[in-house]
Amino acid sequence: MSGTPGLRPDGTRPEDFAEEARQASDNVCEALRCAGAELSDIVQVRSWLTARGDIEAYVKVRKGVISHRPANMLAADGCDALRGRAVRVSNMPEGDTMPGTSGTRRTPRGLETRSRIVDSAAKLFYVKGVNATTLDDVRLASSTSKSQLYNHFEDKLALIHAVIDVQSKFVLAREEQRLRGVKTLTGLRRWRDALVQANSLQDGSYGCALGAMSIELSDNDEQSRQALNTSFDAWLRMLVETLTRLRVLGVLAEDADPQRLGTGLLAALQGGYVLAQNAHSSEPMAVALDMALDHIESFARS
């Protein structure tokens, strides 16, 4: 929001400088209100005055309007661009690019707000579903204004893509941690136990964070489908690498096919999530994984 002068709605300029400064502040407030924002959303204020003698009066007015402490820049004298106006104020809402930079470098507060929006959306998408969650739901859950939400995400689809990225990183990091140390079939069973136990704690509800989004999005948004497919491919690679490790260590026989066994194991897991969600019980998931692991163990060396 740039170049807000201290002019009245009818275009006239107040005679008194302090009144003009207050009018400029009122104009800023009105512009923010129309955008669904408020003064507390501002993280930087840049002010231009035509006379140094007006600085004290301006600062007094500004302190009475803005109670928090955004970054501040104040210039006075020689401002030909002001065209006779005594004051002009430019404000940078939270999340705008930092001055003197290019691209979309966010302020620390803007990054925190974006993270809060994405985290809130991820929780709502997981519990309510993507289609049942509105942007107003996300805004309320993240305690953000409409201007903050739309400053970071132009629409719901952009937010969905951000959530897919965050959820994928979380799930894949978790799986990498659990699978990287598996060197025995018992270790693979412990991996199974951790998944079933986590699912049991929520009575089978909600399913897999990635699988649930795939069901809702893959046939309707190609970018979401590709992103989720990339995540499932990465998950599958972890399982294949684990099974390959077991074959190299001599736990599994040479004729064991890690690619096929890994695909079957991941399919059993995802199908188990869906059945557990419908049954509100982790039992179907446990059975599906046990059958897949029983098949893998049929390739164990004697």
Neighbours of 182 (CB within 10 A): 21
Q: State which residues form the domain around 8.
A: 4-93
Q: Is residue 152 part of a domain?
A: no
pLDDT per residue over 137-150, tens digit each? Answer: 999 999 999 989 99
pLDDT per residue over 150-185, tens digit each? Answer: 999 999 999 999 999 999 999 999 999 999 999 999
Question: CA–CA distance from 175 to each of 74, 79, 180, 232, 291 (Å)?
Answer: 52, 59, 8, 11, 20
Which of 93, 108, 131 delimits the end of a domain? 93
How many domains does the chain fold into?
A: 2
> Is the separation of the CB atoms in 113 and 94 below 8 Å?
yes
Q: Which of 71, 70, 88 is nearest to 79 (CA)?
A: 88
Whole-model pTM: value is 0.68
Percent pLDDT > 70 in the chain is 78
Q: Is residue 147 part of a domain?
A: no
Which of 93, 111, 135 delimits the end of a domain? 93
Identify the top-confidence range among 68-77, 107-116, 196-205. Answer: 196-205
pLDDT per residue over 3-27, tens digit each? Answer: 556 678 877 888 888 888 788 878 7
What is the rounded CA–CA span in Å between residue 179 and residue 142?
A: 33
Q: Is the pLDDT of residue 80 over 90?
A: no
pLDDT at residue number 212: 96
What is the rounded CA–CA span in Å between residue 43 and residue 174?
A: 36
What is the rounded CA–CA span in Å between residue 43 and residue 255?
A: 63
Neighbours of 110 (CB within 10 A): 23
Average pLDDT for the chain: 85
Q: Under 8 Å CB-to-CB from 134, ≥6 apart: which residues?
A: none
Q: What's the CATH code of the domain at 73?
A: 3.30.1330.40
Tell me if residue 47 falls in helix, strand or coil: strand
| Co-location of 76 and 179 in the same domain | no
Q: Is the pLDDT of residue 76 over 60?
A: no
> Is the separation of the CB atoms in 232 and 210 below 8 Å?
yes
The amino acid sitting at 106 is: R
Q: Is residue 24 part of a domain?
A: yes
Q: Is the pLDDT of residue 261 over 60?
A: yes
Neighbours of 137 (CB within 10 A): 15
